[in-house]
A and B are shown apart, each in its own frame.
Chain A
Amino acid sequence: MNINTDLVNKVTAFIGYEADLLDHKEYQAWLSLWDPKGLYIVPTDNKETNYEDSVNLALDDADMRRMRVARLESGESVSAGSAGVTVRMMSRVRVLEETADCVVVRCAMTLNELRHGNLVTYPADMEYRLQPTDNGFVIERKVVKLMHAESFLRTVSFIF
């Protein structure tokens, strides 16, 4: 096993930055991390690989991401308005694949949300396809495999 520590550090820094943007609801900055053709995916079945032909919790192209953010920021959504803070931890970062134009990364995430005074926790396995750029990466694909996907979630008014 030969770990490219330099690359792991770079992707860890990027993923941590993305997580911080989302926890602090800096959604416009988050949108700019994406490749225009990128897909944000939260499957209902974590074994599924053909997302387009199955029902997902979210399957967002650029338009849907923009609308998702607009909804959360609009002030029109009662659930977004009363959403508490989220704190997410990213760890166990592993580079699965590396080519000149793509890095595939897997990591663990635990997101905590305080909802009407109750702590709700969402553990997930995350998969990123990142395109290296001059000053970091852009996201080509992000798949959030929630443990809850096998059972029942609470409703979600933030972005994983």
Chain B
Amino acid sequence: MMSELIDVQSISLKAADMVEEGRVHKSLYSDPDIFTEELDKVFQNTWVFVGHESEVAEAGSFKTAYIGQHPVILSRDRKKNTHVLLNRCRHRGATVCEGRKGKTKAFTCPYHGWGYALDGSLRAVPKPEEYEGVIDKSELPLESLRHESYQGLVFATFKDDIEPLEDFLGGAKKWIDLFVKQGGGYPLKVLGEHRFNFPGNWKIQLENTTDAYHFPIVHKSFVSSLDDATQDIFDFLDGDGFVEDLGHGHSVMVMIPQLVDLEEDLDQPIPARFEELAQALRDEGQDEEQVKRLVRAAHGTGFNLNLFPNVSCSMAFFRVLRPVSVGLTEIQHVALGGEGAPAPFNRKRMRLHEHFQGPMGFGTPDDGEAWERVQKGSIAGKDGWILVNRGLGHLHTSEDGNVAGAVCSETGMRGAYQQYKKMMAAEEK
């Protein structure tokens, strides 16, 4: 067991005490007891991202997701209301729904055929005679979780008395509003997704979406595959970018300031790598103003918005993590486009997504390699710390009054770990 390598002194430390301002203890990546505690204290006690409304656009559509280790269903009923349901039959516990997504009239349990409506209510039970006077169907719906959405992003929670989603998002809302502009004037829509896992702890991924420092090193081979003008855009460590702690563990890392608001600067000339898209849009009869708007939106935003604990609005896509075990994490890279947008626009978005993202992209495999090495290397030694103190000496206050640091500072990680610390320190109820 990995945890046997941790010395007695660190074991006696509680997880919350393993987070200091500028460093976290390495056993946070590998101690299975801490992992179990995290599922309870973090994932069952906050808002967790489960999907985007466009994934269940029509009545009868559903998608499956997880909150920590709990399988859930995001569904849309006949009246077009959305629900987040535990994927657990109320009879003897089977999942009632499999597959990533789909459309259905009902969720029928495969074991004994109990049938549930899309809102979770139990509608039919085969051979009901033996239940006469025993069960009341109205008391056995699929369990429903509290869920709320913001700009189409759906979050659910096990904690019924939690603050409203909008309060939890707080300072992140402004950035979500900017992020959804990349639909190019059309509602943001999920176009598909990549799925992969890596043998490492979920917090290694959590840190990464607010880590600009690694980009020119780890992603050198990706940058080399770009034209010169685009290489310049991705050479952002010396630019005016920044990382801002948005509170509640959320942070934003602005890498390319000129791509913060995609509805501004619409007069920019079309970059070479988007010329083909521009021409395809013109050929479809789009006027020049709309062509420029769509081309600018096609870039994606110049920032990563990290939402604690499991999703990042990462430049042009959603990065969703799921803790599977202390040393295994599943990741989805969800591609985004515009609902009803011209086909060449959505195609270009998908091709750009494939270029960097996913397990076969030009970027992700190198991230995966680095994360795997962190998990492996962090085991070494009886005791040791992970440093997240980069930029601590150069903080400033942002326009919105938040703590901020340089683009390649570890300000966002510190914010996430402070939220983690707070949640892990909470007393068991």
Contact = CB atoms under 8 A, between A and B. Distances in A.
B368 interface: yes
B193 A154 contact: no
Given A154-B197, A155-B198, A57 B224 contact: no
Interface in B351-390: 351, 353-355, 358-360, 362, 364-370, 372, 376
Interface stretch (B9-17, B215-223, B291-299, B391-399): B215-223
A57 B359 contact: yes
A151 B350 contact: no
Contact of A67 (B192, B225, B346, B369): B225
A29 interface: no
Contact of B354 (A53, A56, A77, A156): A56
B196 interface: yes
A74 interface: yes
Which of A42, A70, A71 has the most C-beta atoms of chain B within 10 angstroms of its own C-beta? A71
B335 interface: yes
A78 B346 contact: no
Contact of B369 (A53, A76, A79, A153): A79
Contact of B221 (A54, A56, A80): A80
Nearest to A57: B360
B143 interface: no
B347 interface: yes
B194 interface: yes
Contacts of A67: 225, 362
A77 B217 CA distance: 9
B94 interface: no
A102 to B, nearest CB: 25
Most buried by B among A45, A53, A68, A155: A155
B224 A76 contact: yes
A68 B117 CA distance: 47
A58 B354 contact: yes
Nearest to A160: B360
A156 B369 contact: no
**Most chain B CB within a 10 A radius of its CB, from A55, A67, A79, A153:** A55
Given A55-B191, A55-B353, A78-B369, A156 B360 contact: yes
Contact of A82 (B191, B355, B369): B369
A54 B337 CA distance: 11
Interface residues of B, number: 37
B343 interface: yes
Nearest to A54: B192
A116 interface: yes
Report, as a range, how many residues of chain A touch the other chain: 20 to 34
Nearest to B332: A152
A71 B225 contact: yes
Contacts of A152: 195-197, 330
Nearest to B99: A150
A115 to B, nearest CB: 9
Contacts of B350: 53-56
Contacts of A76: 220-221, 224
A48 to B, nearest CB: 9
A116 B376 contact: yes
Interface string A64-95: 10011011001011111010000000000000
Contacts of A52: 347
Nearest to B376: A116
A42 B359 CA distance: 11
B369 A157 contact: yes
A141 to B, nearest CB: 16
A114 B291 CA distance: 47
A159 B349 CA distance: 23
Interface in A15-45: 42, 44-45
Nearest to A77: B221
Q: List 10 A-B pairs, minimum CB-CB distance, nearest first.
A: A55-B192, A155-B368, A79-B369, A77-B221, A155-B365, A76-B221, A79-B365, A153-B359, A76-B220, A152-B197
Given A77-B221, A155-B364, A155-B365, 18 more contacts: A42-B360, A44-B193, A44-B195, A53-B343, A54-B350, A57-B359, A59-B354, A71-B222, A79-B366, A79-B368, A82-B369, A116-B372, A153-B360, A154-B196, A154-B359, A155-B367, A155-B368, A155-B369
